[in-house]
Structures are given as C-alpha cells and as structure tokens.
C-alpha cells in the first residue's frame, strides 16, 4: 500500500500537484463553480420566504421561476404517466424545457451542478478517503438502471408516483427550501442515510450505483453537446489524479488513453457528470470543456515521444 502511494502520491491527496502548478484557485475552479451553482439552486427558492423577494417557488420536482418559467422534473412526468395520469400543460411545458436543456448540456450535469445530494455524497467520499476506508460493498453501476425500471414499474402497479416515497434528491431540496431539514424529519433522515451509506458501506454507492434519477438524466445525456475533452492528452504523466477524483472513473480512460487506438479525445460516456473536477486536478492541463463535435483524434495534438516514458 505504501509503495503504491509512493508511486502515485495523488491517490492520497489528488490535486496537490495541480495546486502546486496552477495555484489553489485555478486547481479548484470548477469545484467552486459547482458548489456555487448548487447553493444558488437552493438560494433562489429561499429569498422569497426569508426576505420576500420571490425568484423561484416550488422545489426540484416542479417550480415556477419569476412567475413565468415553469420547470418540472421529466422523471416525475414519466412516473405520473406510468401511474395513469397525464399532467396538465404547465408541468408538460416545464418538463419539455428541462429535457431540452439537459439534452444539450449533458443529462448528468443535473447530478453535479444542481442536485443537493451531490454535496452530501462528495463529503462522504472525501471523509472516506481521509479515514482510509477501503471500497466496501461492491455494486454494479448498472444497478441504477434496474432501480429506474423498478421505479416506473412500481408507479404503474400502484398508480402513484412511487420514487417520491424514497427520493433523497427532492426530499433534501424540499427540506432545504422549506426549512424542514432542521427538524428530525424525512429530509434529515434520508440525507443521513445516504451519507452513512456512502461513507461506511459502499464507495460512491448512491450517486454512481443506485440513484435512478441520475440514471434517468444519464440516459438523457447520450446525445449531449457539452463534454469534457482530454485535448492535451499527450501531456498526461499518468499521475492518476483525475481517476482518483472522478465519480465515474470508467469514463476517462477511453478519451485519455485512446490516442493509439484512434479514439477521439472527447469523453463520450453519458455517465460523465460534467463536474469538471478532472480539469481542476490536472497539473498538465490535459482536460477542458469542449463539444462532442471535436472528437476526431486530430483534435488532440499528437503525442510527444518520450513524455509517457518520463
């Protein structure tokens, strides 16, 4: 173990070399932007109840912004449909807007930029690394697709929107925007459960393996335009920092290591959450946000002989 750590100090403290190379701010740029975005998604709902300035009403299930913009979770509409209810115009328009937006920016951008549970599971993962807890319960990341199927089946059988009895995403967001998180209620209990599950039971257990909301948005992201690309992959020195921080680490290798196989530099997996953490922690500036259209091998400058060997 010590030997492995000595070879790859990044695994113990990913991002250290990026901080040294680029400075702390540049090495945490996207993480900070993401936390800000997640905080804003809560804050816009809180200005009304706290100060009487209404920006958004409702919660992540369905909301109305500035009195004109309806947004509805399309998975909710789908569950209602399975349960036998066709929603009224406001919800359908809201769901269409959400669908259109995530088709462009990448479905799982919801997970890393909007969903409040992300901050909880990221904290659990950070603590888990700090405490040196090994991987734990092994789950297949496709489990979430089965959970998603089960959610729709349960809605169809019971005639009720089934996932809302469990959904930590809406429960936590509801708890944050109504203040009920401060009580010993569903929001705090389910959040605690997810946190403890990710900390002590399964590494990145919830978001990466089980959450059907993430699975649904992942399916939406198959054709997404906005992507992370390893444009400068020739400069990669195999420090493994990006793998250490990535919540979906299987998405990186094809793009980062695909030069010899003629694979383009864009991360095309719909599991990628566009969190941008790999961009942050790379001291060689290998990654950047790009579009799916720049995915021919020639979009990444050719490998310089000797870089890998060094």
Partner 1 sequence: MARHHKTGGDAVDHNRRAVLAGTVKGACTVGLIGALLAIPARRRAEAVALRPPGAVAEKDFLAACVRCGLCVKDCPYDTLKLSDLGDGPTLGTPFFNARKVPCEMCEHIPCVAACPTGALDKGLKDIKNAKMGVAVLVGQETCLNFLGLRCDVCYRVCPRIGEAITLELSHNARTAKHAFFIPTVHSAKCTGCGKCERACVLDEAAIKVLPHALATGQLGKHYRLGWEEKKSAGGSLVEPSPEVQVRGMEGVEMTPGGTYKLEKRPDGGFKEFKP
List residues binding partner 1 (CB under 8 A).
Answer: 1-2, 5-6, 9, 12-13, 48, 57-59, 61-64, 70, 72-73, 76, 80, 83-88, 90-91, 94, 131-134, 136, 155, 158-161, 164-165, 170-171, 174, 177-178, 180, 183-187, 189-190, 192-193, 196-197, 199-201
Is 231 in contact with 266 (CB distance < 8 Å)? no
Q: For residues 219-240, b (16+ Cβ closer than 10 Å) or e, as one string?
A: ebbeebeebbbbbbbbbbeebb
Output 157 or 307, the one with its CB closest to partner 1: 157
Q: How far is the CB of 61 from partner 1 (least distance, A)?
A: 4
Q: How far is the CB of 295 from partner 1 (least distance, A)?
A: 37
Q: How far is the CB of 230 from partner 1 (least distance, A)?
A: 29
Backbone angles phi, psi at 288, to 5 degrees: -160, 165
Output 36 or 196, the one with its CB closest to partner 1: 196
DSSP string, 146-169: HHHHHHHHHHHHHTS--GGGT-HH
Q: How far is the CB of 252 from partner 1 (least distance, A)?
A: 25
Output 85 or 249, the one with its CB closest to partner 1: 85
Give the torsion sign (CA, 107, 113, 117, 122). Answer: positive
Q: How far is the CB of 300 from partner 1 (least distance, A)?
A: 34
Output 87 or 103, the one with its CB closest to partner 1: 87
Output 74 or 221, the one with its CB closest to partner 1: 74
Q: How far is the CB of 210 from partner 1 (least distance, A)?
A: 13
**Angle (CA) 116 122 124, round 5°:** 110
What's the count of helices (H) and strands (E) in the chain, helices before strands? Answer: 16, 5
Output 137 or 307, the one with its CB closest to partner 1: 137
Is 156 in contact with 82 (CB distance < 8 Å)? yes
- 79: buried, middle or exposed (CB in 10 Å: 19+, 13-18, 0-12)? buried
| Token pair 């967001």 in the structure block, residue | 173
Output 186 or 295, the one with its CB closest to partner 1: 186
Q: How far is the CB of 143 from partner 1 (least distance, A)?
A: 17
Output 186 or 274, the one with its CB closest to partner 1: 186
How far out from the chain centre does Cα 188 lie? 21
Among 202, 213, 257, smallest CA distance to 112 is for 213
**Angle (CA) 132 25 289, round 5°:** 90
Q: How far is the CB of 8 from partner 1 (least distance, A)?
A: 12
């Amino acid at each position: 173990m010590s030997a492995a750590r000595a070879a790859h100090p990044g695994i113990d403290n990913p991002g250290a070399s990026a901080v040294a190379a680029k400075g702390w701010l540049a090495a945490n740029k996207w993480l900070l932007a993401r936390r800000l975005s997640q905080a804003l998604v809560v804050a816009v709902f809180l200005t009304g109840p706290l100060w009487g300035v209404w920006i958004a009403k409702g919660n992540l299930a369905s909301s109305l912004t500035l009195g004109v913009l309806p947004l509805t979770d399309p998975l909710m509409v789908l569950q209602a449909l399975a349960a036998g209810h066709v929603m009224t115009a406001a919800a359908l328009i809201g769901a269409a807007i959400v669908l259109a937006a995530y088709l462009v920016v990448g479905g799982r951008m919801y997970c890393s930029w909007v969903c409040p549970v992300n901050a909880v599971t990221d904290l659990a993962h950070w603590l888990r690394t700090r405490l040196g807890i090994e991987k734990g319960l092994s789950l297949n990341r496709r489990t979430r697709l089965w959970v998603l199927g089960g959610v729709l089946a349960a809605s169809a059988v019971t005639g009720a929107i089934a996932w809302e009895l469990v959904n930590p995403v809406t429960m936590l967001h509801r708890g944050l925007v109504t203040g009920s998180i401060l009580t010993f209620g569903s929001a705090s209990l389910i959040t605690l459960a997810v946190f403890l599950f990710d900390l002590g039971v399964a590494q990145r257990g919830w978001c990466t393996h089980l959450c059907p909301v993430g699975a649904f948005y992942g399916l939406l992201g198959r054709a997404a335009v906005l992507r992370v690309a390893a444009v400068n992959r020739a400069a990669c020195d195999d420090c493994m920092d990006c793998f250490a921080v990535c919540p979906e680490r299987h998405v990186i290798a094809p793009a980062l290591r695909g030069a010899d196989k003629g694979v383009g530099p864009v991360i095309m997996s719909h599991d990628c959450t566009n969190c941008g953490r790999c961009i942050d922690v790379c001291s060689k500036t290998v990654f950047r946000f790009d579009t799916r259209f720049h995915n021919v091998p020639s979009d990444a400058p050719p490998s310089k002989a000797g870089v890998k060997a060094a």
